[in-house]
Copies of this chain bind each other. A is one copy, B any other.
Amino acid sequence: MEQEEMRSRCENCIVRQFNSLRALTKEELKKVSDSKISKKIKKGDTIFQEGEKLNGVYCVRDGVSKLAKLSPNGKGQIVKLATKGELIGQRSVIAEEKVNLSATALSDMEVCFIPKEGIVNTLHTNPNFSLEVLRHMAHDLKEADDVIVNMSQKTVKQRIAEAFLYLKNTYGEDADGFLSLTLSRDDIASIVGTATESCIRVISEFKKKELIHTSGKKIGIANEKKLQDMVDGF
């Protein structure tokens, strides 16, 4: 059990290297580690919901979640995927507002809930940490701006092609050449902002043109160059 105790300390957690927590001092990290709560979340379960008030942030240790807004009529729009190493909920904690997106697990996940006190205090006292958080937020903002531009300037086909390339570059492929992150057609549609049926149709078309190959819901990229050309409008 001492082994397990060691492993569960933030100080020994590799994931921390990927997010703003790496700017914490040893003492600050110790406090965070003492206050954090590890949780396992099953695929499909929600971590938090739009409108909730968050009392802390979640650090993703393993798995992938979607941050999305559901509309009254049932269709949702995925705004961002958050994966190993990312902090979610920080925007809401910093702005002291209710969360405007809900977070749902796309795979089994392991997350650590970090109560906001530790975070907020440190923001006031450790400029390196603030700056690090700021950099991450600046990056998220750029990505969001890019999504806005893509939604208005690219067709559904282009956006789906782009999504596949993004998934390959971000999450990689398995041994058989399929994207490591397997999403439902519905989730893919929600990422690119289109109807599920339109998404399925485009996937069928890509398959016919041998740009991708599929097996069940798994998708593999067969012709990266042509997909990229399509994104670029050729």
Contacts and interface: CB of A to CB of B under 8 A. Distances in A.
Interface of A: 69, 71-73, 75, 77, 79, 91, 94-95, 97, 100-101, 123-128, 130-131, 133-135, 137-142, 144-149, 151-153, 193-194, 233
A127 to B, nearest CB: 5
A77 B148 contact: yes
For this chain, the copies found in one complex come to 2
Given A95-B139, A133-B134, A142-B97, A77 B127 contact: no
Given A130-B130, A133-B134, A137-B137, A69 B149 contact: yes
A153 B123 CA distance: 36
Contacts of A146: 100
Contact of A77 (B101, B152, B193): B152
Given A79-B145, A130-B134, A152-B193, 11 more contacts: A69-B145, A69-B153, A75-B153, A77-B152, A94-B138, A95-B142, A100-B146, A124-B131, A144-B145, A144-B148, A151-B193
Contact of A137 (B97, B138, B153): B138
Contacts of A130: 123, 127, 130-131, 134
Contacts of A138: 91, 94-95, 137
